[in-house]
A and B are shown apart, each in its own frame.
Chain A
Amino acid sequence: MYLVAAFEHSLYLEVAISDLLQNGVAKEKILAVPLRQKALDSIFSNNINCPAGTSLIDSAAVTGTALMVLGVIYGFVWKWGPIIWGLIGLLAGAALGAFLALVMSRTRRGIKRPKGVGAEVFLMINCNANQLEASEQILWNNQALGVGRLDR
């Protein structure tokens, strides 16, 4: 019998494997395949001087900080004072930066990363019929995203 499970990268995965070993599953009967993430590889295809990936927060932070400084400066003159104008500058600048980055990324073609929780490691366990229930329970108890049985 085989169990196939999908996990995210976390220490739960290592606890699950350790529990299986404690429970009598032999080490060579556990197969783990970490999945390479598409988004990681797509960075390499970009220009070395301008890597993609975090451009949204990059430009939001840059314009947010710049407009916050301006908000603080003019806040010393304007009615609401430097604190409120500083915050307005920060929010307006961050929104502007994020918007510009979004527009730029729309015009540049790239690989879209799928949203939501994704499987990052596949685990395959070759176990005897009498270990099956306990092993499956161990996988579920350690935050497996999904577990399947294969009767071969």
Chain B
Amino acid sequence: MGNNPINWKARYQRGFISSYNINLVYQKNPWVVAWWSIAFPGLGYILLGKSLKGIIFLVWELIINMKSSINTAILYSFTGNFDLAKQVVDSRWLLLYVSVLIFMMWDSYHITVELNKISILAEREKPNIEFMALNSLGLNFLKHVNPWLIAGWSAFMPGLGYLYLQRLNIGVVSLILWISISVLSRLYEAIQLTAVGSFNEVAAVLNPQWFLFLPSILGFVVYGSYVDAVEINKLFKAEQGSYLEDNYQDPAFALPV
């Protein structure tokens, strides 16, 4: 970075790049973050860039939901089979779910409000981020990407969009979640049956307890990778602009006036 090395630590930061991951701080609507925390607990934190906390709660959600059969109970309740819903749900585990779910919604809402302030302060300063980071295992660099292309890859296979964005930890977690849950729910067999028109067999082959996890994961990765791509583009431009200002605005430049 020419005559202005980035070895000082900024108070407000809007991005961090390492050889295997890029993390971002940018403005979000706190209600949207709270919504993802409810749609699939843990996703709100992942959207905020708190990957480890998010992954811990993703695992928590999978365990509690499977143990208490919440997804199956939701299916029965919405289709009017209230007695079946009461039978299938396990109250030993269900009551554990409630307070943590509300906590996560509340927690991610308030973290977003605070991070929005930090984000505004950070955007007003010179971007404090390396252009590239590499070590013996890998390398990452800031690049300009097409957000719709990222959203498309995420829609075909959750995780691929994040991998293209060089966000390895969320990418791998999304891939593992999608592959294991789509196989356990028998999604791809159901797609094949739907494609050939055997509608009667579709509902029979699907496992609803697993299948009801999938819409939230799909919706999140498409949305999350798209908005991350938009912000990585902004960061790329800000970093390049700051590099050019530092290096190519010599006071000795003879202006034509």
Please report A residues at the B interface, Cβ cutoff 8 Å. 2, 9-11, 13-14, 17, 27-34, 37, 40, 43-44, 48-51, 53-55, 57-58, 61-62, 64-66, 68-70, 72-77, 79-84, 86, 89-90, 120-121, 124, 126, 150, 152
- In the bound complex, CA of A30 to CA of B249 (Å): 7
Let me know if B175 is at the binding interface, CB within 8 A.
Answer: no
Question: Smallest CB-CB separation from A30: which chain B residue?
Answer: B248
Q: Which of B113, B241, B250 is within 8 Å of A28, CB to CB?
A: B250
Q: What residues of B have a CB within 8 angstroms of the CB of A34 in the complex?
A: 237, 240-242, 244-245
Query: Chain B: how many interface residues by the 8 Å CB criterion?
Result: 57
Given contacts A32-B245, A74-B78, 13 further A-B contacts (CB under 8 A): A2-B256, A9-B241, A13-B240, A28-B253, A29-B254, A51-B27, A58-B32, A73-B212, A74-B79, A81-B194, A82-B206, A90-B215, A121-B240
Q: Which of A10, A58, A150 is within 8 Å of B256, CB to CB?
A: A150
- In the bound complex, CA of A57 to CA of B250 (Å): 42
- In the bound complex, CA of A65 to CA of B40 (Å): 11
- In the bound complex, CA of A142 to CA of B190 (Å): 49
Query: Do the beta carbons of B237 and A120 come within 8 Å of each other?
Result: yes
- In the bound complex, CA of A37 to CA of B236 (Å): 14
Query: Do the beta carbons of A32 and B78 come within 8 Å of each other?
Result: no
- In the bound complex, CA of A40 to CA of B238 (Å): 11
Q: What residues of B have a CB within 8 angstroms of the CB of A124 in the complex?
A: 253
CB contacts between A and B, total, < 8 Å: 148
Q: Which of A32, A48, A83 is within 8 Å of B194, CB to CB?
A: A83
Question: Smallest CB-CB separation from A62: which chain B residue?
Answer: B35
Segment at the A interface, from B13-21, B86-94, B97-105, B216-224: B216-224
Given A32-B245, A65-B219, A81-B199; A76-B29 close (CB under 8 Å): no
Nearest chain B CB to A88 CB, angstrom units: 12
Q: What residues of A have a CB within 8 angstroms of the CB of B216 in the complex?
A: 65, 69
Nearest chain A CB to B242 CB, angstrom units: 8
Interface of B is mostly: helix
Q: What residues of A have a CB within 8 angstroms of the CB of B247 in the complex?
A: 27, 32
Q: What residues of B have a CB within 8 angstroms of the CB of A28 in the complex?
A: 250, 252-253
Nearest chain A CB to B74 CB, angstrom units: 7
Query: Do the beta carbons of B203 and A65 come within 8 Å of each other?
Result: no
- In the bound complex, CA of A50 to CA of B245 (Å): 32
Given A17-B248, A65-B220; A76-B203 close (CB under 8 Å): yes
Q: What residues of A have a CB within 8 angstroms of the CB of B223 in the complex?
A: 57-58, 61, 65
- In the bound complex, CA of A34 to CA of B190 (Å): 52
Q: Which of B74, B199, B211, B234 is within 8 Å of A80, CB to CB?
A: B199
